[in-house]
Structure 1
Amino acid sequence: MTTEGHIAALERRHQELDREIQTEMQRSTYDDMRITALKRKKLVVKDELTKAKGSVAH
């Protein structure tokens, strides 16, 4: 996969996790543990995205 393709995949995954978090929070009885886990995953993806974009700049 090219670097640009990898970045695009990471961006899609980040957006997907954001949608999952929003969907879970809209439930009347949402699961705090699930939301926390999703937010952690989203942060990991964001870190990977930042690193990938940084490598393109160099």
Structure 2
Amino acid sequence: MSIQSHLQELKRRHAAIEQELSRELSSPASDPLRVAELKRRKLVLKDQMSKLNGTFTVH
């Protein structure tokens, strides 16, 4: 898998978690533990994307 395709997959997963998080937060009976877990997973993906984007940086 190329870096670009891996980055695209991470972005896709990040967007899916964002949608799931939005649904959870809009629910009147949202679970705070579920919200925290989704936010953690989203942050992990964001960190991975940042690392991959760093490989493209030209100095």
Counterpart of 1:2 in structure 2 is: 2
Counterpart of 1:45 in structure 2 is: 45
Which structure is higher in RCO with an 8 Å CA cutoff and minimum separation 6?
A: 1
Counterpart of 1:13 in structure 2 is: 13
How many residues align structurally? 58
TM-score computed with the length of structure 1 as normaliser: 0.94
Distance 2:7 2:54 in 1: 11
Unaligned stretches of 5+ in structure 1? none
Counterpart of 1:22 in structure 2 is: 22
Aligned-pair distance for 1:28?
A: 1.1
> After the TM superposition, which segments of 4 or more aligned residues of structure 1 sit over 3 Å from their partners?
none
Distance 1:28 1:53 in 2: 37
Counterpart of 1:56 in structure 2 is: 56
Distance 1:29 1:9 in 2: 31
Identity %: 34
Aligned-pair distance for 1:31?
A: 0.2
Q: Is the 8 A contact 1:3 1:56 kept in 2?
A: no
Distance 2:17 2:55 in 1: 24
